[in-house]
Amino acid sequence: MRYFIEIAYNGKNYHGWQIQPDAISVQEVLERALSTLFRKEIKVTGAGRTDTGVHAKQLFAHFDVEEVEDISQLVFRLNSFLPKDISVKDIFKVKEEAHARFDAVEREYKYLITLRKDPFLENFAYLIHQKPKLTLMNEAANTLLDYNDFQCFSRSKTDVKTYHCSIQKAAWTEKDSQLTFTIAADRFLRNMVRAIVGTLLDVGYEKISLAEFHDIIRSKDRSRAGASAPAHGLYLTKVIYPETIKQ
């Protein structure tokens, strides 16, 4: 039987989602806990990969086991096995062909910036000391919807077959002393959101113009875009699937 598992995690202590040699990852910790409970090797496939230090408020993965009789008990036991910075929110049965990565129709990220030093946001928001011009940043963010090739915001030497993404939403909001960037798309490239945030901050500080922002996207050249914003301000907040995946 195939099951989807919904998790959330604080990414501070992990080298991202995906298993890698000589570094601890969320996927490795989750697989270890599942394998311990089921007393056999369990592999999980995630909706996507988050980079080192990036957080997730919602991420789905799928795994295959014999039928689970008491899902609520499994959730409870898994949370008992997992460290405090990873939590299981739900587990549910899906169709055998359902795929956590390929069936996702939309993913949403948020990037959090704080304009004021806050000990409770130390590892969860990017502290900046000068407020950028939000109007300019939103003008630039809105133009992202007019493009579909984002190679200029992708990590170099990546193994993707296409740099095309369909962005449905990209906007900044301000509340109290915090700025939040929300972006939703069908898929994202490695390092894409952090590179976009860094470049939009350059627009907000008037280091580059709106016309230059367009030129950067058209150039497909990562070296022309801004520096990536720090990982600890980034959150994967939502992954959406069609209802038809459920049994």
Domain count, the chain: 2
Which residue in 22, 51, 118, 159 is the catalytic one? 51
Domain with 232, as residue range(s), is 106-238
* 201 and 132 Cβ atoms separated by less than 8 Å: yes
Is it the case that residue 8 has pLDDT exceeding 80? yes
| Closest by CA position to 60, among listed 194, 245, 228 | 245
- What's the pLDDT score for residue 2? 96
- What's the pLDDT score for residue 160? 78
Distance in angstroms (rounded) separating the CA atoms of residues 195 and 191: 6
CATH of the domain at 229: 3.30.70.660
Does residue 168 lie within any of the structural domains?
yes
Quick check: is 51 catalytic? Answer: yes
The answer on 13 and 120 residing in a single domain is no
Does residue 244 lie within any of the structural domains?
no
* 132 and 205 Cβ atoms separated by less than 8 Å: yes
Is it the case that residue 95 has pLDDT exceeding 80? yes
pLDDT band at 169 (very low <50, low <70, confident <90, very high): very high
| Closest by CA position to 31, among listed 84, 92, 93, 78 | 78
* 104 and 56 Cβ atoms separated by less than 8 Å: no
The answer on 112 and 234 residing in a single domain is yes
Does residue 91 lie within any of the structural domains?
yes
The answer on 24 and 68 residing in a single domain is yes
The answer on 110 and 79 residing in a single domain is no
The answer on 126 and 97 residing in a single domain is no
Over pLDDT 70: what percentage of the chain?
100
